[in-house]
Amino acid sequence: MDSKAESLKKRGGMHIFTSIDGLSKRFIDLCLEEIGREGYCGASLKVPSWRRIKEALNNEFRQSLPYDLDQKALKNHWDALRKKYAVWRTIAGVNGYNNGTTGKLDWPESKWEEVIK
């Protein structure tokens, strides 16, 4: 394994998803397909779904990945995305600043400063 692969592996799977273009988007697309096909198992995907996603990503991104993704890396990314979505949903739910037409937050600087604190 080369030094780039070692470095990425030490830092964890999340960095893989942010450093390889299109990987995170493809992961989300595959998860949505699997949810439609198999459904959920609690707050996660079912075992066969994880296996198919892992195989698909490892095959499609073979040239870009420094090592094969495993279920742990996929589950960690799933959990990180769920946390980000929960924060976004909370922020988007604040009345008066959500633009329903564009789906963007139209907040003045003062509101962002209040939320960041």
Q: In this predicted structure, what is the pLDDT of residue 80?
A: 93
How many CB atoms are located within 10 Å of the residue 34 CB? 20
Provide the pLDDT confidence category of residue 43 given band limits of 50, 70 and 90: confident
Question: pTM value?
Answer: 0.73
Helices (H), 61-106: 71-92
Check the CA dihedral 5-10-47-89 and report its sign. negative
Give mean pLDDT, residues 21-27. Answer: 95
DSSP 8-state code for residue 99: E
Per residue in 50-74, pLDDT (tens digit) is 999 999 999 999 999 999 999 999 9
